[in-house]
Amino acid sequence: MTVPGRPRWTSVQIAWVKGLECNVSSPGFKRVMHERRQFRYQPFYCEENAWWLCGEPTLAAGGEGEPGGGRQVLFVSNRIGRCPFACQRAAPPGRLLSWDYHCVVLDEAARIWDPDTRLGMPLPARDWLQQTFPFIRLLGPALAPKFRLVPADDYRRHFGSDRRHMRTRDGGWHHPPPPWPPIGNSHTLPQYLQPPPDGPGTCLDWHGLMRWLEPELPAKPSPKPPVGAAAR
């Protein structure tokens, strides 16, 4: 993600969205909220935050286990590169913002880890989706979110960023960089932001992702390997 913006809405859409609240009500789900300070985190660098989260044993179901496994990285964008999100910390409470893209982690228990949300983490994936995009039915094809699922092990091996996308024209920063060194030896981030069907992983629309998350479905799409990515 780079610089957040405000999505463009009609007056009817604005009136409807103003009535939304960030509230999770999954019956019977006992959530353990993890503070962002427990993990490596830098605002506006979601792709790097996700890379570090992929290696966290804490994310395994039940809080124990080995990194990797069935864990996935989930990239979210849309056709025009201005995807509206609700309940993001970069926006004032109750306000929407648009990201050019956003990146979160989906763990083995189908929970979303999003350090940038006001909803807390982890959340069941459906809760995160429904409360991050409660206006989904209002969005036309250009604004509707598109999703890219990338196996965490592949992401850890092939992702790289020299942070060039966060540089201003005069060589400064849109937002301060993380205190850790850049990840990888090349800049492979653009591969994950390509329009589908290009790029690594599996590309899905809203309904396709909802079907993918259904536990009773025995088969899930087979992801494509990264193309031309430099291994670390």
Cα(133)–Cα(129) distance, integer angstroms: 6
What are 149's strand-pairing partners? 74, 202
Residue with tokens 């962002």: 36
Tokens representing residue 61 in the block: 């179901």
Catalytic residue among 83, 87, 114, 116: 114
Would you mind telling me the total number of residues written for the chain in this entry? 232
First to last CA, the chain: 22
**Residue 39 in contact with residue 52, Cβ under 8 Å?**
yes
> Residue 187 catalytic?
no
Q: Is 231 exposed, middle or buried, given 0-12, 13-18 or 19+ CB atoms closer than 10 A? A: exposed
Q: Which residues, 6+ apart, have CB-to-CB distance to 34 below 8 Å?
A: 58, 113, 121, 122
Catalytic residue among 46, 54, 87, 203: 46
Catalytic residue among 83, 102, 103, 127: 102
> Residue 170 catalytic?
no
> Residue 114 catalytic?
yes
The H or E element that residue 204 is part of is: strand 202-204
Catalytic residues: 46, 102, 114
